[in-house]
Structure 1
Amino acid sequence: MSDSAVVEPGVGTSTSREADQAGIAPPPPGRLRRLRGSFRTPSGRLAWARLVLAGVSGFVLHLAFPGIDIWPLAPVGVAGLAIATRGVSKKFGALLGFVFGLVFFLRLIPWIGIYVGALPWIALSITEALYLAGMGALLPRAWKVRGGVPGLLLVSGGLWVAQEAVRGRWPFGGFPWGRLAFSQADAPTAALASIGGAPLVSFAVAVSGTLLAWGLVTGFTALRSRALPGALLPAVGVALALGVMGLGALIPLPTDGDSTTRVAAVQGNVPRAGLDFNSQRRAVLDNHVSATRALAQRVATGESEQPDIVLWPENASDIDPYINADAAGEISDAADAIDAPLLVGAVVQGPGDYVSNTGIVWRPGEGAGTGDDSTYVKRHPAPFGEYMPYRSFFRLFSDKVDLISKDFVSGDELRDNPVGVMRMGDVKVGDVICFEVAYDGLVRDSVRAGATMLAVQTNNATFGLTDESVQQLAQSRIRAVESGRSVVNISTVGVSGIILPDGTVVERSGHFTQDVLEATVPLRTEQTIATRVGEWPEWILSALAIGLVLGTALIARRTQIS
C-alpha cells in the first residue's frame, strides 16, 4: 500500500469507492466539486478530524506558556499542526493554521479584554491567527521539499521563525506575544537564546515538534505497510526531538560579571486593579514612596543592605513630576532617604497634546536628571493601549477607544535617548518599558549601546489576576539569557523578579502585594553571540525556508508542464 494512500488520502487520491466506504456520496460536478478539490478533503470525517487536531494542538501549545507552564508541550503542539497539515492543499492548510492559531490565542491572551470587554480580545486573537493561517498554507510544502528529513526540518522550523518575524513587526509595530521561545524560560532550549536570540529558540522548538510528527507519520505508514522495523520510527522521532530540546544544556551561561551592584526594586501596589488605576495616581505614588522610605529605615537598622540603585515600575508616578512640585518633592524625599539614584516610571505631559511614558533617573540631593543619560521615553507605545490609531474608524465598533483621551508619543519621534541607556552611579541601566521586552531589537539596542544590566519597568494593574504578568516575566528571563545581562522586571502590582544573566530568578514577588526585592547582581560588558549577530539568524532561517518552499513549488510546476 502506498504512502499517499495511507497517510495522505487527501492529496487527490480519493475515489468514489472511498467516498462510499466513508458513507458520503461523491460531490456533484460544478462549483462544489471545485471547492472540495481545492481543499483536498476526501470525506467530511477526515476534514473534521484534521480541524479538531489543529484546534486541540493550539490548546496544547498554550499549556506550555506561563500560567500553566508545561514547557515540554510546546513541541507537541507544533507536532499536531504539522500532522494536520500533511498532504492537504494550501487553502485547507490555511484553514487548519487559522483554527490552530485562534484556539491558541484565545486561550493565551484573555487578559486583553478583562476590563474592556471581549471584542478587543477576540479581534486580536483573530488577527494573530491570520499569521498562523499564512504559515499553515505553506506547511504542506514542508513535507514535499527536497532534501529529505533535513529539508523538512529546515522548512518547518524556518516557517515558524518567519511567521513570528512578520507577526512581531506588522501592523502598528507588531505583537510578538506567543512566540515559541517565550514558553521556554525553564527549558534547556532557553540557552540557545545566547547564540541566536529568541528566533533560534523558536526554531529549535519547531524542529523538535516536526521530528515528533515525522516519527509518528512514518511509523504509522510503516505499520500499515507491514514494514515492522518502521514501527520503531516514532521512538526515533521522540529521541531526536528530546535531543534537540536538550542541546541548550551544552551551552555555558554566565553567572558572574565584571563587577556587581546591589539593587532594590520597589513594587508599591495599587489600591484597586483595573482601568481606573490612573484615578488613584496619588495613592500609587504614595505607595512607592512609603515602601522606599521603609527600605531606608531597614537599611538604617541593618536589616537590609544599602542599595546602589533603586528601581520603580512604569506608572509609579502618573502625576508629572516636572510640573507638579508636590510629586517631585515626594520623589526627592524618597531618593534622599534611601541615598541612591532612583529610576522612576512617570507619565509626562507633552509635547503638545501628547503624553510620554518616561523613565527618569532621580538622584539624591539633585532631583530629576536631565540629558540623554537620565531620561528615556518609551519607543514603542502600545497601539490601542497607549495610543489609538484610526480613532474615528475604531469608534464605530466600540466607544472604549475614548478611554485613551491622550495619545502617547514615541521616544523615536522625540529622539531623546533613543536606546534607553541610563547612568545610575557606576551602573549603566538599559531601560525597557512594559511590552517593549517582547521586541528583540529594542532590548538589543540598549545592550549594544553599553547597558551593563536591564530594567523592565511595567504596570500590570490593568490585567488583573491573569497570566499576563508571568508571561512577561518569562520574556524578561529569555532576554537575560539572550543578552547575558542581569534583568530586573519591576511591576506596580507584580509579578516582579530579579533575574541573573543565566535566566535564574533569585527574587520574586507575589501578585497585588507591596514588596521590595533586593539582590546583588553581576554587571557585564561582554556581548553574547546573539547580541553581536542581531537579526541575521532570523532572516537566514526565514529566507532558507521560504526559498525551499518556492523552489519545490517551481520544480513541481515544471515537472507537470513537461
Structure 2
Amino acid sequence: MVETAVEPAPRRDRRAWRPVALRLAGALASGVVFYLSFAPRPLWWLAPLAFTGLALVLHRRRFWGGLGYGFVFGLGFFVPLLTWLQHFLGPQFGPYPWLALSATLALYLGLCGGLITWVSRLPGAPVWAALVVVAMETPRTWFPFGGFPWGRVAFSQPEGAFLPLASVGGAPLVGFAVVLCGFGLAALVRRPRLVPVLATVVPVVAGLALWPAIGTDAQNGTRTVAAVQGNAPDVGLDLQGRRGELRANHLAETERLLADVRAGRVPKPDLVVWPESATDVRGDDPRLDRLAADFGVPFLIGALDRVAGKPQNVVYAWDPVTGRGDRYAKQQLVPFGEYIPAREIARLVTPFVDDTGDMLPGTGEPPALRVGGITVGAFICYEAAFDYPARDAVLAGAQLLVAPTNNAWYGPGEMSYQQLAMSRLRAVEHGRAVIVPATSGVSAVIRPDGSVASSTGLFTAASLVETVPLRSTTTLADRLGPWTEYTLLAVAVAAVVTGALSLRGPGRTRRRLD
C-alpha cells in the first residue's frame, strides 16, 4: 500500500491586513492634506502632494480596491471641509446631513480611484489619471441637489504657481495642472523617467510663465468702490426671523460710511455695494432713495424681492436720482437654504421643510447691470462655485465684478474664506477686479491678479473703500468658455474606455501609474 502524504493547510498570515491598513491610513491622511490646502490656510502647495499620496496608495490596485481607497481619501477631505454645514443646520438636526453630504461627495472620489486603476495601464498614465479626477468634477455640478461643486481642486489655488492658468482654461485647467503635478511626482518617486518628470514640472513652469501676462492695468479708467458690511447675528437658520435687524445694521453702517466721507476720512466712492439679501424690497424704498441721494452715487443693493408671490434673491442698481433700476436675479440657488430639493423625501427626516418655501431662480438673463456709466457683472454667493455666471457677465460687457454674499448662516468657521478663494480665482480667470461685500464677512476687494487689496474680519461692522481698475479685455478662458471643461471630460472618457478595453487584452496583470 502506498501512503499519500497530506500537506497541512497553509497558515493564514496574521500580518496580511497590515498593507491594507497602511493604504487606508495613507488614503485618509492624503485626503486631510488636501483639505489643509484650502483657505483660510495659504498652503496651496499641499494640494499636489495630497494627490501624490493618493497615487502611491492606488499603485497596482484593482478597481474595487481603488474605489475604496478613493472613497476614504474623499472622506478625509470632505468631512472637515464641510463642518460649517453643521453650524448652519444647528444641533437640532444632528450631524447626519453634514456627514451624508460628505459621504455622497466622497463617492465621486471613490469612483475616481476605481477608474484610475484602469487608466494606470496606459502610457503617460499620470495625464489620464489627472483627467479622470478633474472630469469627475463635472457631474458634481449636476448632482446632488442640482449641483454641489464645493471643494473643486482649483478652489485650493487662490494664490501660487498654478493660479495664472485660470486665465487660459479656467477652474478645470487649474485643477488638471494641480492633480497632474501630484500624480507625476508619485510616478517620479517610483521610477525616474521622462513622462513623470514632465508631468511634475510642466504644470508648475507653465503657471509661473503666465504670471507676467496677467493683466491688472486700467483699460477703461478706474472707479472707487465701497463695500458695506453691516454685520449680522450669528444664529444660523434663525437669521430668517431677524431680517429687520439685518437691514438696520446695513443702513447704520452706510450712514457711518457717509459720515466718514463727509469728514474726509475716506475718499468718496463712485459706487456703493451692499451684500446679498441685506434688505427686503417691496416697491419704492424712500430710505434707500435718500441714502443714494446723500452720497450722490449709485448703489448696488443685494435684496429679497417678490415675484408672483415668491421670494427672489436679486441685485438692484439704485440710482441717486431715479431710484431702483435694473436687476439681476440669482440663478443658482442654494439647496436647503433657498429651495428644498426632493421635498417629499426631505420631509421624512425634518419638519423644517414645511416652513420653508422655494425661492424663484433667475431666468438666465446675463448678470450684467448698467450702473454709473459702466457695466458691472454680479454673481451672487453660491454662484461663485459655478463657472458660468461670472463668465456670462464678462461676455456681456462687465468691466468690474461684484460677488455679494450672505455667509452669516454659517458661523465663524472656514466657509467664508473658502468662498473668498473662489472669487480670487474668478478675478484671474476673467481679468477683472472683484468686489465681495458680505453681510458678516469676509468682505474683500480683489485685484485682477487675485491678490486682496483689503478685507474685513468676521462678525463685525465695517466698510472697505478702494480704487479698482475697469477692464474690457476678455481672457482666453472667457473665449473658450465651457469647451475647456468639455474637452478635458471627453479625453478622460476616452482614456477610461481605452483602459477598460486593455483589461481584456494581453498583459492584463501589468499595473502601472508611471
The residue that corresponds to 2:327 in the other structure is 375
8 Å CA contact retained: 1:154, 1:544: no
The residue that corresponds to 2:108 in the other structure is 131
2:269 to 307, 327, 343: 307
> What is the CA–CA distance in structure 2 between the aligned matches of 1:57 and 1:193, rounded to whole Å?
25
Deviation, 1:474, is: 0.5
The residue that corresponds to 2:38 in the other structure is 65
8 Å CA contact retained: 2:276, 2:405: yes
Match status 1:268 vs 2:230: yes
2:314 to 358, 366, 379: 358
> What is the CA–CA distance in structure 2 between the aligned matches of 1:291 and 1:238, rounded to whole Å?
54
8 Å CA contact retained: 1:347, 1:356: yes
Deviation, 1:20, is: 5.4
Q: Which has the bigger relative contact order, CA under 8 A and spacing at least 6?
A: 2
The residue that corresponds to 1:477 in the other structure is 424
The residue that corresponds to 1:320 in the other structure is 281
Match status 1:189 vs 2:162: yes
1:284 maps to a residue whose letter is L
Instruction: Tell me: CA distance 1:264–1:484, structure 2 relative to 1, closer, same or farther (3 Å).
Output: same
8 Å CA contact retained: 2:66, 2:113: yes
8 Å CA contact retained: 1:212, 1:241: yes
> What is the CA–CA distance in structure 1 between the aligned matches of 2:18 and 2:353, rounded to whole Å?
43
Normalised by the length of structure 2, the TM-score is: 0.92
Match status 1:486 vs 2:418: no
The residue that corresponds to 1:332 in the other structure is 289
1:200 match: secondary structure: helix
Equivalent residues, number: 494
The residue that corresponds to 1:419 in the other structure is 366
> What is the CA–CA distance in structure 1 between the aligned matches of 2:32 and 2:354, rounded to whole Å?
34
Residues 483-539 of structure 1, C-alpha deviations (whole Å, 9 max, x = no match): 001101110000011011111110111111111111111111110000000112222
How does 1:61-460 map onto structure 2 within 5 Å?
Answer: 61-116=34-89, 117-145=94-122, 147=123, 151-218=124-191, 233=192, 241=200, 244-251=203-210, 252-258=213-219, 259-317=221-279, 319-322=280-283, 328-352=285-309, 354-369=310-325, 374-403=326-355, 405-412=356-363, 418-460=365-407
1:292 maps to a residue whose letter is T
Query: Identity rate of aligned residues, in percent?
Result: 40
1:307 match: secondary structure: coil
1:472 maps to a residue whose letter is Q
2:224 match: secondary structure: strand
Deviation, 1:234, is: 10
2:54 match: secondary structure: helix
8 Å CA contact retained: 2:161, 2:204: yes
2:434 match: secondary structure: strand
Aligned Cα RMSD in Å?
2.2
2:149 match: secondary structure: coil
The residue that corresponds to 1:533 in the other structure is 480
Instruction: Tell me: CA distance 1:20–1:526, structure 2 relative to 1, closer, same or farther (3 Å).
Output: farther
Residues 312-347 of structure 1, C-alpha deviations (whole Å, 9 max, x = no match): 000210x3332xx6xx12212221121111111111
1:515 to 433, 446, 462: 462
> What is the CA–CA distance in structure 1 between the aligned matches of 2:134 and 2:459, rounded to whole Å?
35
The residue that corresponds to 1:227 in the other structure is none
The residue that corresponds to 1:559 in the other structure is 506
> What is the CA–CA distance in structure 2 between the aligned matches of 1:46 and 1:127, rounded to whole Å?
26
8 Å CA contact retained: 2:446, 2:454: yes
How does 1:497-512 map onto structure 2 within 5 Å?
Answer: 497-512=444-459
Instruction: Tell me: CA distance 1:272–1:541, structure 2 relative to 1, closer, same or farther (3 Å).
Output: closer
Deviation, 1:97, is: 1.1
Deviation, 1:237, is: 6.0
> What is the CA–CA distance in structure 2 between the aligned matches of 1:62 and 1:560, rounded to whole Å?
37
2:361 maps to a residue whose letter is S
> What is the CA–CA distance in structure 2 between the aligned matches of 1:363 and 1:283, rounded to whole Å?
24
Instruction: Tell me: CA distance 1:76–1:20, structure 2 relative to 1, closer, same or farther (3 Å).
Output: farther
8 Å CA contact retained: 2:131, 2:488: yes
1:506 match: secondary structure: strand
The residue that corresponds to 1:54 in the other structure is 27
Deviation, 1:401, is: 2.7
1:173 match: secondary structure: coil
> What is the CA–CA distance in structure 2 between the aligned matches of 1:67 and 1:477, rounded to whole Å?
13
2:143 maps to a residue whose letter is W
2:145 match: secondary structure: coil
Gap regions ≥5 residues in structure 2 = 1-6, 509-514
> What is the CA–CA distance in structure 2 between the aligned matches of 1:549 and 1:274, rounded to whole Å?
43
8 Å CA contact retained: 1:452, 1:525: yes
1:181 match: secondary structure: helix
Deviation, 1:241, is: 2.9
Residue range with higher mean Cα deviation, 463-472 or 233-242: 233-242
> What is the CA–CA distance in structure 1 between the aligned matches of 2:289 and 2:391, rounded to whole Å?
32
Residues 27-62 of structure 1, C-alpha deviations (whole Å, 9 max, x = no match): xxxxxxxxxxxxxxxx32222221111111101100
Deviation, 1:243, is: 5.2
> What is the CA–CA distance in structure 2 between the aligned matches of 1:243 and 1:97, rounded to whole Å?
26
Deviation, 1:280, is: 2.1
8 Å CA contact retained: 1:86, 1:139: no
Gap regions ≥5 residues in structure 1 = 1-15, 25-42, 219-232
> What is the CA–CA distance in structure 2 between the aligned matches of 1:398 and 1:471, rounded to whole Å?
28
> What is the CA–CA distance in structure 1 between the aligned matches of 2:56 and 2:139, rounded to whole Å?
24
Instruction: Tell me: CA distance 1:242–1:509, structure 2 relative to 1, closer, same or farther (3 Å).
Output: farther
